[in-house]
Amino acid sequence: MNDIMMGTSLPYAERKRQGLMGRMPHKEESLAQQRRRIYRLVSAMQSPFDQHLLLRQLQEDNPVLFYELVRHHLPELLPIIYTPVVGEACQRHSDLYLRSHGLYLSWHDRDELDHIFAAVEQEVDVIVISDGERVLGLGDLGIGGMGICIGKLALYSAAGGINPARTLPLCVDVGTNNPELLEDDSYLGWQARRVDGEPYYQFMDKVVAAIRKRWPQVVLQFEDFAGKHAANLLARYRDELCMFNDDIQGTAAVASACVLAGLQQAGSALADTPVLIVGAGSAGCGIAAMLAQLAGSPERVQLFDQDGLVCLDRAGLTPAQQPFARPAAEACNSLPALIERLRPGVLIGVSGQGGLFDEAVLTAMGEVCERPVILPLSNPTRSAEATPAQVWQVTGGRALLATGSPFPPVEVDGAARVVSQCNNVYVFPGIGLGACAVKARRISDGMLRAAVQAVGAYPLAEGRLLPPIEQVGEVARAVARAVALCARAEGLADFAGDPAPLIDQTWWRPHYWSAS
């Protein structure tokens, strides 16, 4: 942090000593005063996207003030710095590019990776990496995926106490199959069809090897890779370094925590409750696998997608789908009909198809279950399978609900009902914090289950499936402790006693450096 970044918080005597007189107004502001002033400015902006741009600029110019602001106003600013507003920023990434932030690893640099990483002087605790092929529900945005990496790392620091100076966003540029980007003269990425197949995996092998060589203890989070690659990359590297895929494992963890909380309030047990997941890609299969582990069997979890119920006779079944594929005789292409037959207590949407949970689907859920758990998780907002108002209207307010995108409170029976957001921010910052604090060598399934149980241990108000977003910092600490203890129990970390002191030492707080 240089002194110009401190701005009006730089003491007057220090300005004089360093020859900075006249470079800023006279008043010496405290960090709290700066925060209040900048918050007024952000609040006065006319659109969420303008707010996003202002906050991104603040993040570059004065990260201490940025994180001080975000931590104090996280419920309000979370959807601004991340989804849904970050989606537009990713779509317009090349037009908005002004300065370097993070690393762009092009296919053309595949023989220079060690030199690229060696030139990075900072030590790094957490990397978020994306190739931009499946950004949110927006598709292939190429190097626009960098916006997701920057946003996720902002949440690592705001909610998980990771020092932002020790994080690195990383975008892998292997081309794009987006026809608009291929023809757009302003697009800054490599304008060629995506490298695929074995050459793609050879390049990713080089990237991961170079990362492991430069920062052997780093936590590496994979983000927004296409389904065809996401599971393969997870299987390929999870035993080589401390890595996980947030779309598969982070989404699965927080969704599972919502399911467990909902079933507890409904008076049901997971092992006795049929679960129907609509969307059989990486996120859907990840949730299915996590719930199957928690239930002790995959038998009650079923997958449904655009081709109907996932059955054993389907061509091209992925390894992740196979444990949940049903006999061919059970084939069904109608979601309402399947609900009537299966009588699920839990309906989860990760389809990316806005409005898919229509009145027929919601009516069926309300008829087969007194208190159904319904999770329309696709984002951004327009991709949500149903809105909270629709769910509660059709089910008479009986459904237990969490959404993937943020929604305002909904009036139900004359009272405002808060909508729980099934946001991965409840899980991944704590996973990273715990792994960094105890220098975990891997991130195991057991550590992820420990994260689910830590989130689920929080007392909740009736109808809520997650704690208030204001408590995500506390949740991150609880998740970190659970993850650390599990890592030690599984032989993946070496430390003695309670990990809480190590977590406290790792936890970063926004503050200005002082020479005194």
Neighbouring C-beta atoms of residue 478, cutoff 10 Å: 21
β-strand 301-305 against 308-309: which pairing, if any? antiparallel
Would the annotation count 313 as a binding residue?
no
DSSP string, 388-454: HHHHHHHTTT--EEEESS----EEETTEEEPPEE--GGGTHHHHHHHHHHHT-S---HHHHHHHHHH
Q: What are phi and psi of 98, to 5 degrees?
A: -125, -35
Would the annotation count 494 as a binding residue?
no
Q: What are phi and psi of 394, to 5 degrees?
A: -70, -35
Q: 32 to each of 64, 66, 275, how far by Cα in Å?
A: 11, 12, 47
Instruction: Reduce the DSSP state of residue 190 to 3 states and report it.
Output: coil
201 tagged catalytic: no
Catalytic residue among 67, 82, 104, 200: 82
Would the annotation count 379 as a binding residue?
yes
Q: How far apart are CA 422 and CA 426, in angstroms?
A: 8
Q: What is the CA radius of gyration of the chain?
A: 23
Would the annotation count 367 as a binding residue?
no
Catalytic residue among 12, 16, 97, 152: 152
β-strand 243-245 against 400-403: which pairing, if any? unpaired
Select from 376, 388, 316 the least CA-distant residue to 352.
376
β-strand 346-349 against 167-173: which pairing, if any? unpaired
512 tagged catalytic: no
Would the annotation count 184 as a binding residue?
no
Would the annotation count 28 as a binding residue?
no
Catalytic residue positions, numbered: 82, 152
Write out the binding residues for (S)-malate: 134, 379, 423
Write out the binding residues for a divalent metal cation: 223-224, 247
Write out the binding residues: 134, 223-224, 247, 379, 423
